[in-house]
Each structure stands twice: as structure tokens, then as C-alpha cells.
Amino acid sequence: MNENIIGIAHQAKLSKKIQEIKIRNDRQINNIVELLEKIKGAGVSKNEEETILKSTLITLITYYEAYLFETLSAIYHAFPLKMTGDIEKYSVKDFMKNGSIMYMIHEEINKKIQSLFFKGPNDVLNEYFKITGISLSDKDFIQKLIEFKATRDIFIHTEGKVNAKYIDKAVKFARANYGDRLPIDESYINNVSLSIKEFIKKIDNLLMEKYSKYTKSKAFKEMWEATHLNEVLSFEEAWTLDIEKDYIHVTEKAFKWGWSGSEKPVFDFFLNVYGNKDEFDILRIFQRYPYPHKEKLMVMAWLESPFRF
């Protein structure tokens, strides 16, 4: 199976997806911090305040992990080749049984990422950087994040009492000794929220630097070149590319070309993506190009993550 064909449509919207994830997580973090400020002035008791602070910490770490999960999922969907071995084990019968190639890949991606988050926080970040192809050089900053996560685990599993796992994870950033209760106050929560926002900003910048080149026009070009239409008319003959505006134009030559009965539905599909045609004969494409033809894989993948100009 050609996994790269399946990911092309997701690549077209990858940078936008990454930015949407950042914006959503920033908003969620801001909302929880603002809520904490409102609760502070409500005259709560000391015990209630500690409960609120612990709940806020747990929520902030959840947002941090969600950011990692969602960006990793977006990159896996755009580049299924990173899942090689996990996808190749499936047979044609498996695909026919489940009805959607992308559904099976989506399920495999979820299982892979979920299994990753059962590992230690340091292992999670190392694997994240390996898969995404980015890295952070500030090891102390990363270790601070690991301490935040370790603190969250302590409040969930041992009611705030420091154990050996916390000491091992927090290393020099450990805030209490073995057997002691971990302190938590407003200053610590502010440090957590600001650090997570800083982490997300740094990762977003690195991801955008690496993946912003994956545009709609680039995806469209690769989709065309993956089909047999490219053997009839090359992309350069059929389309003009405006990289700066991320736009394409159909040439008069392609528009007036005498496409055969099997080629015309595929060309109509590209016109639909281009925005020049409202409909295309998807049934005709699937009948003429059954699995594992690239044309069917490409159209199915596009239907899962459609984009237009």
C-alpha cells in the first residue's frame, strides 16, 4: 500500500492544523488561569484552596499532554510512512471489512500514541522529538516540565506524598524529600501555566519551521503526479503554480485535452479540488480504479481531509 498517497491531503492542511491546536490550547490554559483568579476572591478555605490548586495543576498537565497528542496525531496522519510496520500488517480483506483505509490508520495512530503516553514523561518527549523531527536544546526547561508531570502524578496516586518515582523523575528539580508532602501554591501553578505556554510556543515555532512548506499547492502537485494523468500531461503542462499565493491554475491545454473515458472522472476530481467544477463522478473512479490503485487511495484520502483553492 502506498501510505504516502494517503497522507498527501492531510499534508495540505498540516500547518493550519498545528496552529489551530496551539490556539486552542493557549485559550484553554488562559481560561483555567482566569477561573482560578475568580475563585481566589470567593473566600474559600485553605483546604478548598489546595483542592482547587491541585485540580488546576491536573487540568494544566492534561492540556500539555493533549497538545503533544494532537500535534503528533496530525503529523502521523500527514505522514503515515512514520507508521511503517503498523499499517503494512493489514490485508485487503481488513480494509474491505472496515470500509475505510483512513479509519483503520486513524485507529492505529490512536493506539500507537496512547501506548506512548503510558511511558515515562522523558521517554514521551524523546519519542515525540524523534517522530516530529524537532528538538529542544534546553534540557533544564524540559526537566522542569517533567517535574510538573511528576507532581501531578503524586497528587493523583499518593495524595501528595513524595515517592521514589517522583525523585527519579524530578531529579534536581525535586521540591521535597522522600516521604514528605509536596507543597503547592499559587506561585507554583503560575509557573506551571507559564512554562507550558512557553513550551507550546517553542514547539509550535519549530513545527511551523519544519512543516510550513507543506501547502495546498504542493499537495495538489503531488496528487497529480501520483496518478496516471501525469503520464499523459505533466503537472507543468496541465497546471501553473503560484507558490507565493499557494494557488494553482488549470492550463487551457489541460482543460481542452481529449481525456479518455477513464481519465475524465479523475481530471474532473482535480477540477473539483481546484474549484472549477462542482461535482465529479466518484463512483466511476472507484469502479475504474479499485484498490490498490493510487487514484482510489488518493480520492479516499482527500475525502477524509478535503481541501480546495
Q: Could you read off the pLDDT of 62-93 as tens digits, one per residue?
A: 999 999 999 999 999 999 877 655 555 555 45
What pLDDT shows up at residue 37? Answer: 86
Give the pLDDT confidence of 104-148 residue by residue, as tens digits.
778 888 889 999 999 989 999 999 999 999 999 999 999 999 999
Region 226-237: mean pLDDT is 96
d(CA 226, CA 175): 56
pTM value is: 0.88
| Mean confidence (pLDDT) of the chain | 90
Instruction: Tell me the C-alpha distance between 95 and 292, whole Å.
Output: 10
Q: What is the pLDDT of residues 232-276, one digit of tens each?
A: 999 999 999 999 999 999 999 999 999 999 999 999 999 999 987
User: Residue 20 — pLDDT band, cuts 50, 70, 90?
Assistant: very high
- Please report the pLDDT score of residue 82 as a whole number: 79
Omega cis (within 30) before 183? no
> What's the whole-number mean pLDDT along residues 203-222?
96
Closest by CA to 3, choosing from 110, 85, 68, is: 85
Q: Is the dihedral of CA 9, 14, 16, 22 positive or negative?
A: positive
Q: Which of 129, 127, 121 is nearest to 150 (CA)?
A: 121
Q: Evaluate whether 78 touches 109 at the Cβ level (below 8 Å).
A: no
pLDDT score of 1: 47
- For the chain, the straight-line distance linking the first and the last C-alpha, in angstroms and rounded, comes to 28
Q: Residue 125: its pLDDT value, please?
A: 95
CA distances to 76, 236, 301 from 222, rounded to whole Å, are 18, 12, 13
Helices (H), 117-251: 121-132, 139-157, 164-170, 186-211, 216-226, 229-232, 235-238
User: Residues with Cβ < 8 Å from 134, sequence gap 6 or more?
Assistant: 203, 206, 207, 210
pLDDT at 175 over 90: yes
